[in-house]
Amino acid sequence: MARKDFLALLTRLFLGYLFLSSGLCKLTEGHFGQLMGPHLLIQWLTPYKLGGFAVFIAVSQIASGALVLSQRYSLLGLVMLVPMNLGMLAVTISQNWSGTPYVDTVFLAMNLGLLLYEWDTLRFFLFPEAISVDYPRVNRLFRNRWLPVGVLLSAVAATGTAFYEASLTLVPATLCFGFTYANVYTNRSLDGLDRLMLALSLLAILGVTYYEWLISVRIVPMFFFLAIVALILLLFLVSMYRSWIRTRREEAAGYVGVGD
């Protein structure tokens, strides 16, 4: 798989997990591991008669996150995330939150970067006279139809259990992540290093999701997550170097062929 495509995949997995877990955490009032708060948003807004609005935000985060994780429908999810990321950025700036606006800006940049990655498909919004619209890149890479449905149905089940029994939410959520990675691994162009990085990313997700277990063995969940992310970045740089070396060798071989 081309490095640009793999980087886009890792970014989609991160954003999809980030928003899906954040929404589930809000619905379970903090009883679901996640990286982005506030986990008590519903409780905070209920006294102002905005509890329903907080629930809407949480469900929207789950829906958009699940769509992005599905790969097949990720383009729709990424479009949904734009106003959500802009809203988050506006709120944190207006509330004068220290540091958070910079983090939200990074999330927004990731979101817009993934949309630019699909420019050949989305360009008709700005240039409606375009003769043809290309098939989304993500759908060319991941063609399975049923595993993405499993991702979405598991997310729906997780949303339902979050409303009624927070402790059971882990079951459908774990299934959702399982379907996500089963779908990703259907791409045969992934090499061994790519598959290792994806396995590590799943480990990071499960580590934060089951944060209580990590705490029980005296491991800080955020440190666990960041350590794995750092390892993935290191391995990605190694893969970039390998790809560069391979390209140079192919170019050298081509020059030799022309000379012969």
**Does 57 fall in a domain?**
yes
For 72, how many CA atoms within 13 A lie in the half-sphere containing its CB? 17
pLDDT per residue as tens digits for the range 196-228: 999 999 999 999 999 888 888 888 888 999 999
pLDDT score, position 132: 67
Whether 224 contacts 218, CB under 8 Å: no
Dihedral of the alpha carbons of 90, 96, 97, 101, in degrees to the nearest 10: 40
Residue 238, helix vs strand vs coil? helix
Considering 122-126, 136-140, 147-151, 239-243, the range whose residues carry the highest mean pLDDT is 147-151
Whether 205 contacts 17, CB under 8 Å: yes
**Does 32 fall in a domain?**
yes
Instruction: Copy the structure tokens of residue 43.
Output: 């409780």
Domain count of the chain?
1
**Does 244 fall in a domain?**
no
What's the mean pLDDT in 139-147?
93
CA distance 116 to 105: 16
**Does 236 fall in a domain?**
no
**Does 195 fall in a domain?**
no
Nearest Cα residue to 27 out of 53, 54, 65, 66: 54
Pick the more confident residue, 126 or 61: 61
Q: Residue 21: how many CB atoms within 10 A of its CB?
A: 24
**Does 253 fall in a domain?**
no
Q: What values do phi and psi take at 133, rounded to 5?
A: -120, 130
Residue 55 to residues 86, 104, 222, Cα–Cα distance (Å): 19, 21, 26
**Does 157 fall in a domain?**
yes
Nearest Cα residue to 4 out of 122, 108, 141: 141
Provide the angle, in degrees to the nearest 10, between the axes of the packed helices 51-69 and 74-94.
140
Mean pLDDT of the chain, nearest integer = 90
Residue ranges making up the domain that contains 176: 3-189
**Does 42 fall in a domain?**
yes
pLDDT per residue as tens digits for the range 150-194: 999 999 999 999 988 888 999 999 999 999 999 999 999 999 999
